[in-house]
Amino acid sequence: MAHGSKVNSCFPTGLPYPGIMPFLRTAPPAQLGLAEELDPDAPWHTLPMAAIDTETTGRDPGRGDRIVEIAVVHFRDGVVEGRYGMLVNPGIPIPADAAAVHGITDAQVKGQPTFEQLAPKILELLQGRIPLAYNAGFDRGFIRAELVRAGVEVTKTTATPPALRGTEWLDPLVWARALQTGVKGFKLGEVSTRLGVDLSNAHRATDDAEAAGMVLYKLLPKERGTTYRSLVLEQRGLKSGPAGRTWRR
């Protein structure tokens, strides 16, 4: 299949994917990592998005690190529809090195709700929306660990928000690495600066989530007409290469 063919042009990077279109057209949405309740052939930017960010006590939920702040910012067509930020009482002290990054202290989270208490609200905010996060594996891992700890049942049906089943989280970091070639520095602040996205209050969850969403819209402008289906499929391919390297923030 020719590199410049119409079929290949559906992919944002313009890379060729020979022989993949039959699979694209016939595979069940869930098998592709798509939110089943959304139209896979709609332009991705027209669909409802939930940009997510967490601030934490450390880097590893498997070693007992916890969320101290979570934010969900609703987007559609590049426009913010709502901002929802919540401090979370982690039930453990916040280490000094973590507090030095995000500025959240034990005094600030004292008396705040636990993740278990906030879980119903968080699930509501994520329902029916494509999940998005910068370095998505970090936030997804923490949220899943907190839900397990809280005893929240997660199913693979549409009763569970897309972010918590097998749906692919859109990750602006993957796209920045693929599309911003010949540059150094892929922290959210660095990529935001290159794209003219405001991030004046970095490392607070609401600001980071909003910036992450705007970065993706800037990297993949709607003029490309990329469908949700093709966007997810190409991201899954990119993640297996250099663009998918885990970022330690």
- DSSP class of 113: P
**Position 223 pLDDT exceeds 90:** no
* 127-181 pLDDT, tens digit each: 999 999 999 999 999 999 999 999 998 888 889 999 999 899 999 999 999 999 9
**Position 43 pLDDT exceeds 50:** yes
Q: Helix (H, G, I), strand (E, B), or coil: what is residue 185?
A: coil
Q: What CATH fold (topology level) applies to the domain 45-244?
A: Nucleotidyltransferase; domain 5 (3.30.420)
* 73-114 pLDDT, tens digit each: 999 999 999 999 999 999 999 999 999 999 999 999 999 999
**Position 51 pLDDT exceeds 80:** yes
What is the model's pTM?
A: 0.87
Task: Pick the more confident residue, 53 or 24.
Answer: 53
Question: Lowest-pLDDT range, 25-39, 52-66, 81-95, 118-132?
Answer: 25-39
Which pLDDT belongs to residue 156? 84
Residue type for position 237: G
- Domain residue extents for the chain: 45-244
**Position 7 pLDDT exceeds 90:** no
Helix intervals (H) in the chain: 21-26, 96-102, 106-109, 115-126, 136-150, 172-179, 188-195, 205-219, 228-238
Mean pLDDT calculated for residue range 202-226: 93
- With cut-offs at 50, 70 and 90, classify the pLDDT of residue 3: very low
- With cut-offs at 50, 70 and 90, classify the pLDDT of residue 21: low
Chain-centre distance for alpha carbon 97: 25
Q: How far is the C-alpha of 176 from the C-alpha of 229, rounded, in Å?
A: 19
- With cut-offs at 50, 70 and 90, classify the pLDDT of residue 9: very low
